[in-house]
């Protein structure tokens, strides 16, 4: 892990949390160089409404804050520990503790970005219906 690729709060979390815990929750943290590369593929919008639906510690929002012009930053995160860290790293963001797969999607966003959790997904019947087109194409 390259220290310059992450905010100090993220580094502290990675050192203090067990790899087993992070793996169980599908937590992986995208390095700054990759976040910047991904953002460079998107037009540099003015005042975009940005969402990271699985924001972790808020690293993607931190990069979005630096890339876009006056963005409105929003993030959802299921892990309460990471919610608190994201609130400290990106205090101007609207950070909500919620499971993105269970949250009713009523808002519109200009940009949705992030690194989704990696774990085996076994949707229940309701989720299969809700995400039919995404799951089955």
Between 32-39 and 59-67, two packed helices, what is the crossing angle to 10 degrees?
50
| pTM for the full predicted model | 0.80
Which CATH number covers residue 99? 3.40.50.150
pLDDT (tens digit per residue) in 61-106: 999 999 999 999 999 999 999 999 999 999 999 999 998 888 887 8
DSSP of 55-76: -TTSHHHHHHHHHSBS-EEEEE
Which residues constitute the domain of residue 90? 3-136
pLDDT 10s digits, 101-124: 888 878 899 999 988 665 555 666
Distance from the Cα of residue 95 to its chain's centroid: 10
The count of structural domains within the chain is 1
């Amino acid at each position: 892990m390259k220290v310059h690729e992450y905010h100090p709060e993220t580094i502290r979390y990675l050192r203090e949390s067990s790899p087993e815990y992070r793996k169980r929750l599908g937590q992986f943290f995208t390095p700054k160089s990759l976040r910047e590369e991904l953002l460079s593929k998107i037009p540099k919008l003015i005042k975009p409404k940005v969402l990271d639906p699985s924001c972790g510690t808020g690293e993607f929002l931190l990069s979005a804050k630096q890339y876009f012009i006056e963005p409105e930053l929003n993030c959802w995160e299921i892990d309460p520990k990471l919610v608190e860290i994201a609130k400290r790293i990106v205090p101007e963001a609207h950070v909500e503790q919620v499971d993105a797969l269970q949250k009713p999607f009523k808002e519109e966003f200009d940009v949705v970005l992030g690194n989704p959790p990696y774990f085996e997904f076994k949707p229940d019947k309701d989720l299969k219906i809700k995400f039919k087109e995404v799951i089955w194409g």
